[in-house]
Amino acid sequence: MTDLMEIIKDRRSVRKYQDKEISEESLNQILESVKWSPSWANTQCWEVIVIRDRKVKEKLQDILPKSNPATKHFSEAPLILALCGKLASSGYYKDKATTKFGDWFMFDLGIAAQSICLTAYDLGIGTVIMGLFDHDKIGEELGVPEGYELVSLIPMGYPTQESGAPKRREISEFAHYDKF
Ligand SMILES: Cc1cc2nc3c(=O)[nH]c(=O)nc-3n(C[C@H](O)[C@H](O)[C@H](O)COP(=O)(O)O)c2cc1C
C-alpha cells in the first residue's frame, strides 16, 4: 500500500479516462471506504447511485453545463457515483437541528467524497468531484426521492495522462496557533 501522505498529495482531479472497465472488486473497495467514513453521530446519511449505463451517462452529460471542465468526457467515464444525502438527520437530535449550521449532510458527504477519491487513487483510478450543475434536474433524472438531495457526481476511470498539481496555499497562510 502506498504511503498515506503520498496518496493525499498525489491524488489529482481527473477529467479524461481510458476506455477500460473498473472491476466489481475495485467498486466494492471504493464503496467500503464510504461505509467506514465518519459522520455526525454515525448517522451515515449517504446514499450512492452507481451509474454504468451508457444511456444514463449520456443523458446526464446533456444536462450538465458545458462550462464545467468535467462535462466534456463525462460519459466516457466507465463508472460514475452520484452522492446523495438524507436530509434532516446529520446534525439533528429528535428532529431538531443541534447547531447553528442546521443540516450537516454536506459535511458528511464531503468526507465520504474524499474517502472515495483517495481509495480510487490508491487503486490507480482517477476521479473528479463535480459540484457545479443543476442539482434538481440531474436529481430528477436519477430518481432521487423527496427528503434526499443529490450533492455531487464523481465520474471515475483510469487516467489517460498525468496532470500537475494546482498551487496550494502555504501552511503559514492558513494555520493559526492558539488564536485566529
Ligand atoms: C466540492 C467540490 C466541487 C468541485 N466541483 C467541480 C466541478 O464541478 N467540475 C470540475 O471540473 N472540478 C470540480 N472540482 C475539482 C476541483 O476543481 C479540484 O479539486 C481543485 O482544483 C484542486 O485540484 P486537484 O483535485 O487536482 O488537487 C470540485 C472539487 C470539490 C472539492
Sequence-ordered list of residues with C-beta below 8 angstroms from that of 54, at least 6 positions apart, any chain: 75
Give the position, in ligand 1's atom list, of the atom nearest the Cα of 163: 26
How remote is the CA of residue 160 from the centroid of ligand 1, in Å?
18
Considering only the C-alpha atoms of the chain, give the largest distance between any 2 of them, rounded to a whole number of Å.
Answer: 53
β-partners of residue 149 are 85
- The pLDDT of residue 89: 98
Q: Are 14 and 157 in contact (CB under 8 A)?
A: yes
Burial of 27 (0-12, 13-18, 19+ CB in 10 A): buried
How remote is the CA of residue 72 from the centroid of ligand 1, in Å?
15
- The region that residue 143 occupies, defined by phi over 0 for left and psi between -120 and 50 for alpha, beta otherwise, is left
Q: Read off the pLDDT of residues 15-66 as tens digits, 9 standing for 90 and up.
A: 999 999 999 999 999 999 999 999 999 999 999 999 999 999 999 999 999 9
**Alpha carbon nearest to ligand 1 atom 18, residue:** 13
- The pLDDT of residue 2: 56
Element (H, E) at 6: helix 4-10
The pTM of this model reads: 0.98
Q: Read off the pLDDT of residues 92-148 as tens digits, 9 standing for 90 and up.
A: 999 999 999 999 999 999 999 999 999 999 999 999 999 999 999 999 999 999 999
Give the position, in ligand 1's atom list, of the atom nearest the Cα of 132: 8
Q: Are 18 and 156 in contact (CB under 8 A)?
A: no
Ligand 1 pocket (Cβ < 6 Å) reads 12-13, 15, 68-70, 128-132, 165-166
